[in-house]
A and B are shown apart, each in its own frame.
Chain A
């Protein structure tokens, strides 16, 4: 599974602040996934935190 940040992102920065293991900030302060966003079973809770915490519903988990 992997996480992705969609075009709904408006740069709140919650994903990379709360879940720095899966996301980072770009030069405009918008969220981007680390690498290709792939994560292991141990990170599922962290991924869900990012999904639920995004005020724009811009973070999603894809198979």
Chain B
């Protein structure tokens, strides 16, 4: 860090305005990036906006506690997200193999069948809502499938998660009645199926973890924490990311046609949309001591937010920061986090997205936003997402 940077005053009181973020994340994040590498928002929270700054936070879990950042989110500790070293490693040692690509491969056929079924339900109609008819349904089905639970539970699970995510306010401990009610209902549901699986194990992820014995055996609270973490981090996130991918493809017909002709472009396009549209756009940590980030001192016990949408557009890292550019997709992004808390479900999430896009395109290669539709996000929010995305497309001729 240069002397000059060290002496620069940190911007404070920065307001996270709804516009232009709701309509235009390029402009929204660029405005925040230009405020500075580190700034304090109007709630007094510290925001980090550069690629190297965010990586520094991700890679130093002893300076930036995840445990303390997620303390306020209910009584059950989220596992492994809200666990600091050294306990964290014990959980990841067990969970990493469960979420590895080799395990995801085994589910590919079944997940493809489910995605195809969802698309088939509207393919003949000539229109759909990409969020409500597909992107919201599929990740919850994946969760139920992995945990060996009936797909009939899908809609009630979705509703609990929707309420919890919609009403949580980042950086505060405000809990509305409906949030508490939904949290309790989800917790009761989870506790019941954990007990049922312990009694009668099946061929599923949950039974596999419950089968560990000795020092690797998990308590019921630990299982609850893991289920909570999966639901919190693994459902709405994939839903939202799918929304951003379909929005991009619906509004860029030339790219979409190229993707259909060159299917190997699906993955780099997904990576680039993940870079530009991180669905958990500001990931929190709490400092354990005074710490210097990009030349600015952040005091101990402060909440720090990693601004992924800004860091993922850092021109120091990305030659074409504001556009989907398959040529730079191999540079990666920070959307799945990094360091010891690298998103446990990243391999699964990527596969879910690929499966849905491929199965959709197989049936509906030509589509566009319905006339007048202009999907927007709420901002600021813990998880940003389109709530609705009406698409129209030609109906295939009857066979």
Contact = CB atoms under 8 A, between A and B. Distances in A.
Contacts of A18: 330
A55 to B, nearest CB: 5
Nearest to A10: B342
Contacts of A52: 330-331
A13 B334 contact: no
Interface string B364-390: 000000000000000000000000000
Interface in B311-347: 330-332, 334, 336, 338-340, 342, 346-347
Interface stretch (B25-33, B70-78, B96-104): B96-104
Interface string A17-42: 11000000111111000000000000
A53 B342 contact: no
A12 B346 contact: yes
B55 interface: yes
B332 A28 contact: no
Interface in B52-86: 55, 59
Contacts of A12: 332, 336, 338, 342, 346
B97 A27 contact: yes
Interface residues of B, number: 20
Contacts of B102: 25, 27, 29
B24 to A, nearest CB: 27
A63 B25 CA distance: 43
A45 B221 CA distance: 48
A46 B19 CA distance: 41
Interface residues of A, number: 19
Contact of B338 (A13, A49, A55): A55
Contact of B100 (A28, A53, A54): A28
Interface in A2-17: 10-14, 17
A53 B96 contact: no
B338 A29 contact: no
A10 B100 CA distance: 12
Contacts of B101: 13, 25, 29
A25 B338 contact: no
A43 interface: no
A26 B103 CA distance: 11
Contacts of A13: 101, 346-347
Given A12-B332, A12-B346, A13-B346, A56 B97 contact: no
A49 B332 contact: no
Nearest to B334: A55
Contacts of B338: 10, 12, 55-56
Nearest to A17: B267
Contacts of A29: 96-97, 99-102, 347
A17 B100 CA distance: 13
A55 B55 contact: yes
Interface in B254-308: 267
A56 B59 contact: yes
A27 B332 contact: no
Nearest to B329: A18
Contacts of A30: 96
Contacts of B100: 11, 25-29
A26 B331 CA distance: 22
Q: Which of A11, A17, A53 has the most CB of B within 10 A?
A: A11
15 contacts: A10-B342, A12-B338, A13-B101, A14-B332, A17-B267, A18-B330, A25-B101, A27-B100, A49-B330, A52-B330, A53-B331, A53-B332, A54-B332, A55-B55, A56-B59
Interface of B: 55, 59, 96-97, 99-102, 267, 330-332, 334, 336, 338-340, 342, 346-347
The 6 lowest CB-CB distance pairs between A and B, nearest first, are A29-B100, A28-B96, A10-B342, A28-B97, A53-B330, A18-B330
Given A25-B102, A29-B347, A55-B342, 17 more contacts: A10-B339, A10-B340, A10-B342, A11-B342, A12-B338, A12-B346, A13-B346, A13-B347, A14-B330, A28-B97, A29-B96, A29-B99, A29-B100, A49-B330, A53-B330, A53-B332, A54-B332
